[in-house]
Structure formats: structure tokens, C-alpha cells
Chains A and B, each alone.
Chain A
């Protein structure tokens, strides 16, 4: 039966209800004319109608009357909420479960039967298949973007389609959560060190893409995945252009609009500078605990984007200098005056002095002061947030101000002679160790206030390379002194790979330039 026939039946049934019983047969005869199928449908429905209300009421009572909580208690697990895709096989991918809860839209974990591995699947809006020109453009862009090979960009394995022509992207599967989920889990401002770390990794991804002339256009916390090891993976490169239609149309949720640049909000084309803006919004949200342009509906959000000048400094007076400047520069309304490339933001973030003191990643849990945001007027929000921040204890403290003795662990001490020399010139004693066991032997919890270590090194009698030696060291040291303070100074690659994990494990910081450590302990590096 076609849709219009169904609507016709619906209408006839309603009209028949007003007609006296005696005249119904004539009504059916007249209205269904020479359509016996329609007549049969209408007649049987009319027959079923008089007692239907009572029947459905009774059925409801019998099937639902005793309540569902007994059933719920018996149900196996809360996490396997049913989903039509789960359990299906598309192409050679067996869809297992949803990734990242409800926050990620339609991303599923699936088993790749051909290559015996787990992957993530994302289905593309079904409209794409209707218009071949849109589809061609989408595929062209998605393929260009999938060529991006960067540790902070989600690897795209392939773009495939279901039997009925629905496109989907096959991506590497990571264990972790979206930045959106992480922000919501935190419920308030994020520790500066964590926010810097995450935004720096996003900036790395953008810088790499911008260098190849690829613009993301839809950078938002839902598209930023943070793995369990703290590595940021930017998702959906090259898909955003197809999302443009969604953004401007009715389907655009407030969540998407909130990260749009002013030029996007005006419907103008987006370029690298729009990505810079969106990163600025994310950084603001992480540091302030509220979105800079928070509104209940997209229209108001766009108004705010075009007119408001949110002031991060007023909300977080405790921030290290520099970071608020970067946010402000990224949130410059006029694209021409905004940093034009991810690289510029990355450099700015790298120059930001890291706050002292232990990173409170592990302690960053929802507190009683959790900010309830989103609906209130922005001005009021700013006030509330500012107040709650004023009463926040400054956990960063001045942990490293009085370091006088350092234990430095590196299998290749020549790397650091310049910095060690500077430390000594400032009256800081340095004990050096070549390996983890060497360091644990030399470590004196009373004497050494700070440990500086590389991450990977050649160790042991056989001289095998241990990529995570720094973590082993931290564990050994912590057994001796639970609040041991350690900074890793290591290769740029190891910094990218391990920084978030190290900070989550309680390291004070992770730097690729050892001179930064001098700044951390309050010394000014001198030229070498």
C-alpha cells in the first residue's frame, strides 16, 4: 500500500466515524468506487473500530500492567540498549556496539572479518546517495582527507557503502571518549595543564592538515576523540563540507552552531581561519567550563557569535599569562585579523608557560560546585562562573620554587649538558643516572625534590630499547615516595604520544625542550 492510500484510508475512517451505522455501507461503496482492495481494507478496519479503544486499553493493562521494573531487574545489562545497526553485517564489517555512548552520533565499533581487526564505522547522512554530484564531491574530499597521516588525526581505512547504497566511513577504532563526553564528565573548568595539552594536540592536527590545504570546517568537541592514553584524534576531516547543508538547515543543533566562526554563521565559506576560531571556542570552553557563546537556540547563538566578546581573563584570573591571549586572538571576529593557520596557534600554545604543580587530572571529578550551564543568560553565567572560580583553591601552587637538588635520568647525558650546566650555575645540584635501576639506586627521597627523565632509552645489560622506561621509573619512585615530582624531557614524538598519559599518571609535565624545565623551576634560561 502506498503512503497516499494510507492517508486516504485514515481520512475515510475518520469521516465514516461521523456517519450513522445504517449509512456506512453506502459510504464505503461510494468512496472506494472501483478499488476493491481499498474497500476491503476500509471495511475490515471499520469492523474492528468500535471495540478497538477498549481492546487496546485491555491489552495495555495485560502486557504492561504489572510494570516493567521486574523485567528491568532481570534484563542482562544496562549498556546493551538496543540499536537497529548492532548485530548487522555491512560489507565485511560485523557491527558490535556503539562507541562513546550517545554523544558521538552514529559511530559503531565493528569487527573487520577480512583483516581480523576492530574498526569504527560512521554512517553518512542518507541524503548523500540521492544526489550524485554531492556524492562525487563528498568522496573526492573524504579521500583527500583520508590521506592525512598524523598521530592526532583519526586514520581512515576506507569509504564503503552498504548494499542499498548508504555510505559509511571505516576508521581506526580507539579506546576512549569524545572531548564532549569528557567535558560533561568534568562538569566545570578543566585544569589548565589538561586543557593546554588537549588543545595543543588539536592544533598539531590542524597545522598538519592546513599545510596540505585541507580545512576541517567543523571542529567541535564531538569530533575530538581522546583515547585512554590521552592522545587526541581529530575525526571527520573532509566531511564537514557535506555538513554545511545540515548546519544552515533546520537540522543544525545548537551544539554545532556554538563552534561556528562568524563567517560561517553568516553563511560565508570557511577556510583555515574558521578552524582556528573553533579551536579557540573549545579552548575557552575547557578553561572556563562554559561555552563562550552559549544559547538555547541557534539563532541566539549566532547573534552572540557575531556580537559578544567573551572575556576569558575575567573568568579565569588565575590562568598563566599567554593562554588567554591565544584564546582572544583565535576568537577575533574579523577573519583577516585572526591567526591564519593552525601552525600559528600551535606555536602560541607551545610558548605558553606550563603552570607549576601537580596536574590534577585524576582529581578532576565533578564537584559540588559543578556549574549548571546552558540555559541562563550569558552575563549571569559569567558572573556565576567567576564567583565559583574565586573560591576555587589554587591547586597549582608554587611546587617547584625551591628546588635545590635534581636527579636527572638519561642514557645519553650529552644531550643535556647545556641545561645541566645552567642548573649548576644557579646553585641547583644535579645527580645523574643512566638507567631506571641506576636512578632508583641513587634516588634519595629527602634530597631530590625533582626528577627529570627521558621517556625511552637503552637499558639493562643487553642494552635493549625500552620505549616506556620513564613510566617504569615513575612507578618505582612512587613506591618510595608517593608524591614524587617528575618532569619528562624527551623527543617531540614521545611528547605527542605520551604527554596526556604521563600527566594522567601524575607527572608535572612533559617537554621536548629541556630548557622549559628551567622556567618551571623559576629560572630564566640563558642562551647557550
Chain B
């Protein structure tokens, strides 16, 4: 639609026409602020916790487990130097042999979700798929935070629904 609008403006004599090809989807996926009715409703990015435990591929599992336990987390997110999500260590993986490298223990390629997904939809997804938490990332895969089911269901109960569906399955 935007390419056609740009072409029409140019045909009408506009000389400084630019197109943001990534559009609203790219903007929302980056967790950028918006205006409008939905901006008042909580989304995954608003509820996700920013203090999630992260670690690198070469970290020792035992060290990550200690850090997670001290901070009250039973999950850790494996990221690279640019904070791109590579894997997850859930409770089961965190309990493996302490001397293992994270790379050997992690669950690779976890499902990630964008910050713009309405919290009600996220809560339903987490309940339906029996997941305690999921990473929220930008469209480039960078970690925004970890969304916990308990937080999502609590926020969904106090919010409203009826917004556009964002998770495709």
C-alpha cells in the first residue's frame, strides 16, 4: 500500500517522497512507542521483565544456576554479544551437570515473541502451551525481556481484549 501511495504522490508532483518499507510491523517489533487505542493496552513488551538472567554460550552451567537462584529465576536466556537470543535454560536444563558449558545444556532456538503482541493473547498462548515463560525479542532477535505466565495472566485479567491478533500459528 505504501509503495502505491508513494507512486501516487510522485505522480501528483510531490518531489520529496520517502517510503518506510518496514512499516508499522517493523516499528512495533522494535518495541518503539505508538499512539492510538492500543497504546493504552498492555503488551508483551510492557509486561516482560528486563531483569532476566542472561548468559553466554561458553559460561559454566553451575555459575549461571547460582546467579539465577540468587535472583529468584528458574530460567536463563542464552544470548550472543549483541543480545541476540540463541537458546534457553529452563529449570530442567539448569539442573544438569554444573561443569557443562551452557552451549551443551541449552534448549536452542526457542520460540520468541515480539513486544507488540497484546498481553491477553500472550497469556492465552502461555496457558495453552503450558509454558512458564518466553523470551520477548525485537524483530532482529535481540532480547527485550522475559515474559512470565503469572505476570501475563495477571496483566491480561486487568486489561481489555478485542485487539488485532498478532500471533500466527
Are A and B interaction partners?
no
Q: Which residues of A are in contact with B by a Cβ distance under 8 Å? A: none
Residues of B within 8 A of A (CB): none
